[in-house]
Amino acid sequence: MELSRKAKEISSSVTLEITAKAKKMKDEGIDVISFGAGEPDFNTPLNIQNAAIEAIKKGLTRYTAASGILELKKAICDKLKLENSLEYKPSQIVISNGAKHSIYNALQAICNPGDEVIVPVPYWVSYPELIKLVDAVPVFVKTKEENNFKYTKESLEAAITPRTKAIILNSPNNPTGTVYDKKDLEFIAEIAIKHDLIIISDEIYEKLIYDGTEHISIASLGDEIKERTIVINGVSKAYAMTGWRIGYTASNEEIAKLMSNLQSHETSNPNTIAQYASLEAINGPQEDIEIMRKEFEKRRNYMVDKINSIEGLSCVKPLGAFYVMINITKIKGKNIKGYNINSSVDFCNALLEYSKVAAIPGEGFGDDDYIRLSYATSMENIIEGLNRIEGFLK
């Protein structure tokens, strides 16, 4: 029997492989320091936990409208207006089971077989696979460290063909931490309008932003670009709510309707209790968010300075998210402590075996010259883990 060819083409995640290996070592009692985390290491704030408990007690435990409850859609509209200068009606909001699901819905709503979707390299691991799942084709645009890992006008224009349907924009970016400024967004919007393209603007790390940098949603640059942008956001990263699984889209009515119809058959509504918890997250006090953000900023500062002090390694200072991409080109091709380091996977395997430090190879993000370290782990772990990496390279 032949099982699904499409499913067989979806790659297993390199991120998960290394983290699984690290977890196995930890379970065996080995003291592994993991820099693999893709989620805040904080608990969901208490007021949000309580809102969920209240929802259960009030019997708010049944199906809701497939695209989510009206109160949460209204809260999202208010948030988008206040924080992003974006005016949407509740009918333009679709609430889904995490931002990943929102991205999948967006791709399903806009792509036909063979359509091309532009993806920045290094990329978040799921973009190419989600694009393949809707029978579209990922077209990779390599971004460079010297351009702060941003699309350039030339690199984007060169990737566009008559089949291009959409551009993925992810700011703040996973894995590079890059934040696009207004000027960058203006040329991207211009290109999208000129070539009649849709922008999928993944803004999930919006609130994790440092050095006073401003997050700008490309949709806020004007009506024309807003009409062709699908804003992706959610509560996972900002409110330490990764397990609650609530993400959302804001788009034009036509796309919102398509996504809502699709979702009504795929999953029905996202978890009702989690929707009420998200309502509290968005409408409630925001102090805990600032405490987390400040802690991330402190860790980032330490991590970046330390990495740049280690011979053979370097990194740029990321302005957002909670990742640092370490340039390993000076290490590649060397033999260190008996390990031949010819790739990012070799380096990560050596670090795990020799130093008991888990990092994610850049290969998983489409760029083998880097490894990714997450600072969503305690300062204590960061200090010890980086000392171990330094020890390995000495």
Site residues (vs ligand PLP, CB under 6 A):
38, 98-100, 124, 170, 174, 202, 204, 234, 236, 242, 247
Cα four-point dihedral sign 35, 297, 290, 185: negative
Which lies closer to ligand PLP via its Cβ, residue 37 or residue 307? 37
CB of 204 to ligand PLP, least distance (A): 4
Which lies closer to ligand PLP via its Cβ, residue 130 or residue 341? 130
Which lies closer to ligand PLP via its Cβ, residue 100 or residue 356? 100
Smallest CA-to-CA distance from 72 within 282, 344, 333 is with: 282
Which lies closer to ligand PLP via its Cβ, residue 124 or residue 370? 124
CB of 72 to ligand PLP, least distance (A): 15
Closest residue to ligand PLP, judged by C-beta, is 98
C-alpha to C-alpha distance for 170 and 199, rounded to whole angstroms: 10
CB of 30 to ligand PLP, least distance (A): 26
Which lies closer to ligand PLP via its Cβ, residue 204 or residue 351? 204
Which lies closer to ligand PLP via its Cβ, residue 249 or residue 355? 249
CB of 241 to ligand PLP, least distance (A): 8
Smallest CA-to-CA distance from 214 within 83, 317, 384 is with: 83
CB of 87 to ligand PLP, least distance (A): 24
CB of 221 to ligand PLP, least distance (A): 21
CB of 17 to ligand PLP, least distance (A): 16
Which lies closer to ligand PLP via its Cβ, residue 156 or residue 274? 274
Asked if residues 320 and 172 have their Cβ atoms less than 8 Å apart, the reply is yes
Which lies closer to ligand PLP via its Cβ, residue 123 or residue 392? 123
Which lies closer to ligand PLP via its Cβ, residue 19 or residue 342? 19
End-to-end CA distance of the chain: 54
CB of 123 to ligand PLP, least distance (A): 9
CB of 200 to ligand PLP, least distance (A): 10
CB of 310 to ligand PLP, least distance (A): 26
C-alpha to C-alpha distance for 209 and 81, rounded to whole angstroms: 19
Which residues face 229 on adjacent strands? 199
Asked if residues 100 and 265 have their Cβ atoms less than 8 Å apart, the reply is no
User: Amino acid identity, residue 112?
Assistant: N
Which lies closer to ligand PLP via its Cβ, residue 226 or residue 245? 245
